[in-house]
Amino acid sequence: MITDERYPVEPWVIRELGFELATLAQSESIFALSNGHIGVRGNLDEGDPNGLPGSYLNSFYETRPLPYAEAGYGYPESGQTVVNVTNGKLIRLLVDDEPFDLRYGTIEHHERILDLRKGLLHRVVEWTSPAGQVIRVRSTRLVSFTQRAIMAVRYEVEAIGDAARVVVQSELVANEEVPRQSGDPRVAAALTSPLVAEQHSASGSRSSLIHHTRTSALRMAAAMDHVVAADTDPDLHTYVEKAFARTTVGTRLQPGQRLTLTKFVSYGWSSQRSVAALRDQVDAALSAAVHTGWDELLVEQSEYLQEFWDGADVQVEGDESIQQAVRFGLFHVLQAGARAEQRAIPAKGLTGPGYDGHAFWDTETYVLPVLAATAPRAAMDALRWRHSTMDLALERARTLNLQGAAFPWRTIRGQECSAYWPAGTAAFHINADIALAADRLVRWTGDDAFARECALPLLVETARLWRALGHIGADGAFHIDGVTGPDEYSAIADDNTYTNLTAARNLRYAADLAQRWPDEAAALTVSAEEIASWRQAAEVVAIPVDARTGLPEQDRGYNAHERWDFEATDRDGGYPLLLHAPYFDIYRKQVVKQADLILAMHWCGDSFTAEDKARAFAYYEQITVRDSSLSACTQAVIAAEVGQLELAHEYLREAALMDLHDLEHNTRDGVHVASLAGSWLGLVCGYGGMRDHAGQLSFAPRLPPALTGLSFTVRWQAAKVRVTIGPDAARYVVEDGVDVTLHLHHHGQPFTVTSQDPVELAVPPIHPLTDRPTQPAGRAPTPTPTSPS
């Protein structure tokens, strides 16, 4: 458990005081640096000790067979697992023959600081070796947002007290030992020695290693170069062999003297390019970075982030830990997506090997709405990645005897990698999630090229899938039977409300877009008849209602199922349920892992009345256990909407502190990017009440008791809109745009705001329609501390 004592709350940095082996792996995820293209965990410079060493290249994976004791038609035969690639972070230090290792000697001071505005990870250590020599090490690490192939470290050693012989070894190491993963099915299977050496070379202070993976046949190159500055005249020597490269710098430092090593590392990878081409690519990237120089890299990094924060920052008054957490969350969301550039945004970003490094639906549903409003280019790129895998999705649909495109439940490259179809293939909602994300981007950016080239084909092929997947029954309604919705504690159900509603929108928006771009639609062989059949299905989509209560229900017949016996479930050891009860029993009972109907009420909120939302929320609260990190933020959003503001804040805190407090006990495997995005959603869509139903941007701001103010910015088409919320009123300002006139809604009332005239509107009172909802025994969220920290 990471505590506030060791992680004091500060608005713009994550600071860790002291050193603790037990939480090392978690801290490595929290301090991971990435630009979406490459990512390195926050491992200590010296490599040892470590929780889980990790360096990742987006979409660089190894395939492995997926075993089935009883195979079935259409089961994927091979999976993809992210590979821990050549470690370029490593800088070992020898002090008077004594390896610098925190497990020995005495740690006088240890501090790490993740600077969210500068995009840097700082470390300061003062250490007394077992022999009594005192040294100070300062390091600063960055993964460049501007030069996507580049990681760099400035490493400084200073002798204190006595003179010291110091040797610094800067390395590239392939096939590091990775600790064995746990038996938890959610933790990714480990791979050992995935890299096969192809070429190694060294010259001066520069060296490179080229490897390929055995089965997926991907090739990668890593190269490093060094700049040394010292108060003395150090020796420098570089050695390379197949598995590692090492530049050694040795000198003798008098007290107060320093040795400073600046290390530049570049990565390149490809499924097609030759050894020579990759070698040249990483050398070129390295030369550019060395030419840029350390100081200028820092400037670029800072400017890039300044631009981001200008349009993305959220200011929270009244809860400092949420202020910190939402910035930490936005920073990791940016790190995951900034330079992914038509590669996937995995559930853990590039911060750890969790979920095998796969991307899921939560990218489109939780992460892209945040990027759409804060870094729209990254969001469009993520969907262009989906579009680039269209051939695989079309083929998968054919394998499943369906029409259109069936995107994979979990994947790195685009092939379906889910080995458990009831919670994989059957979760077809991912196709609507992708389609609606594309449609959202069209509305938010107004980017016609994106609409034509990317959104239209995504919407058309997924609409085709839905039309083939559903059927119009004898009751005249469009039914989608036997699918799995977002709640993974229910599966293979008929008429999942979330699925049906998002599929209907998918069909309708596909029809809209096809009519808007008739030539491009014709090129996709879309006919007027097909468009009509999409509209018809969307029109009559089945929305199950519990006949006894009149409430919407998660799936047809769901509310008639037996309720899980929460009282009989061990509050401490009994969760997550999936580790303690068979799927069989979980699926057939009323117990919700994560928001499903409630998620529909967020993204398709205009399909429900306010009363339905309030009453259904109260009903589902009683059976929702939040065994998924994707739940609390959505519960926060709907709790806020229905006026349960204290409850909303408890859920918001849970989502926002998921990784900083390691609430799911698996932050070691990487941060929960979607939940981190969820803290933004909870603030902006919850307290800001922001919705974009039918392309209409609307707000319904209302603060919880814990907050005294909230301010955020969203990029809407050509403009930036800043919303500043106080206890009684909200102020809307258009920034950046010239002569912009926006037609927005405030608590259901249309209003106009221009770049000239900000608008301030009163927050109306709300009278909740239900008492504060209750949760299953032991599963209520943690109350907000009276003095939030």
- Residue 258: both structure tokens together: 């320093």
CA atoms within 13 A on the CB side of 601: 32
- Residue 327: both structure tokens together: 């910035």
Q: Which is nearer to a second copy, 224 or 504 (CB)?
A: 504
x/- string (CB under 8 A) for a second copy, residues 489-508? --xx-x--------------
Q: How far is CA 709 from CA 276, 321, 324, 723, in A?
A: 57, 14, 15, 11
Cα–Cα distance between 784 and 319 in angstroms, integer? 10
Question: Can you point out the beta strands (E) in 206-327?
Answer: 206-213, 219-230, 235-240, 244-253, 258-270, 314-317
Among 103, 180, 291, 548, binds a second copy (CB under 8 A): 548
Q: Which is nearer to a second copy, 67 or 573 (CB)?
A: 67
Residue 22 binds to a second copy (criterion: CB under 8 A): no
Residue 368 binds to a second copy (criterion: CB under 8 A): no
Q: Where is 63: in which H helix or E strand?
A: strand 61-65
Q: Which is nearer to a second copy, 360 or 587 (CB)?
A: 587
Q: Which is nearer to a second copy, 35 or 431 (CB)?
A: 431
Q: Which is nearer to a second copy, 123 or 479 (CB)?
A: 479
Residue 96 binds to a second copy (criterion: CB under 8 A): no
Among 118, 212, 263, 479, binds a second copy (CB under 8 A): 479
Q: Which is nearer to a second copy, 561 or 602 (CB)?
A: 561
The nearest distance, CB 401 to a second copy, in angstroms, is 6
The nearest distance, CB 459 to a second copy, in angstroms, is 23
The full DSSP string for 428-484 is THHHHHHHHHHHHHHHHH--HHHIIIIIHHHHHHHHHHHHHH-EE-TTS-EE--SB-
Among 11, 74, 255, 446, binds a second copy (CB under 8 A): 74
Q: How far is CA 411 from CA 185, 211, 408, in A?
A: 16, 23, 6
φ/ψ of 676, rounded to 5, equals: -65, -40
Q: 645-656 and 673-681 helices cross at what angle (nearest 10)?
A: 150
Helix H segments across 672-778?
Answer: 673-681
The nearest distance, CB 569 to a second copy, in angstroms, is 9
Residues 156, 171, 488, 654: which is the catalytic one?
Answer: 488
Q: Which is nearer to a second copy, 183 or 765 (CB)?
A: 183
Return the residues of window 212-271 that contact a second copy according to CB under 8 A. Answer: none
Residue 1 binds to a second copy (criterion: CB under 8 A): no
Residue 481 binds to a second copy (criterion: CB under 8 A): yes
The nearest distance, CB 741 to a second copy, in angstroms, is 49
Return the residues of window 394-413 that contact a second copy according to CB under 8 A. Answer: 399-402
The nearest distance, CB 660 to a second copy, in angstroms, is 29
- Residue 732: both structure tokens together: 């809307």
Q: Where is 751: in which H helix or E strand?
A: strand 749-754
The full DSSP string for 610-634 is HHHHHHHHHHHHTTB---STTSHHH
Cα–Cα distance between 303 and 736 in angstroms, integer? 17
x/- string (CB under 8 A) for a second copy, residues 715-754? ----------------------------------------
Cα–Cα distance between 677 and 363 in angstroms, integer? 9
Among 233, 474, 739, 767, binds a second copy (CB under 8 A): 474
Q: How far is CA 414 from CA 206, 229, 325, 360, 506, in A?
A: 36, 46, 32, 11, 21
* Residue linked to tokens 């009594």: 132
Residue 777 binds to a second copy (criterion: CB under 8 A): no
Residue 154 binds to a second copy (criterion: CB under 8 A): no
Return the residues of window 422-461 that contact a second copy according to CB under 8 A. Answer: 422, 425-426
Among 22, 72, 180, 572, binds a second copy (CB under 8 A): 72
Contact at 8 Å (CB) between 521 and 515?
Answer: yes
Among 446, 473, 518, 705, binds a second copy (CB under 8 A): 473
Among 482, 643, 726, 768, binds a second copy (CB under 8 A): 482
Among 66-74, 383-391, 689-697, 710-718, the segment contacting a second copy (CB under 8 A): 66-74
Q: Which is nearer to a second copy, 400 or 769 (CB)?
A: 400
488 is catalytic: yes
Residue 419 binds to a second copy (criterion: CB under 8 A): yes
Among 587, 603, 687, 699, binds a second copy (CB under 8 A): 587
Name 529's Cβ contacts closer than 8 Å, sequence gap at least 6. none
- Residue 77: both structure tokens together: 């035969």
Residue 476 binds to a second copy (criterion: CB under 8 A): no
φ/ψ of 510, rounded to 5, equals: -65, -45
Return the residues of window 557-586 that contact a second copy according to CB under 8 A. Answer: 557, 560-562, 578-585
Catalytically active residues, by annotation = 488
Give residues in contact with a second copy (CB under 8 A).
66-74, 79, 183, 185, 399-402, 418-422, 425-426, 471, 473-475, 479, 481-483, 491-492, 494, 548, 556-557, 560-562, 578-585, 587-589
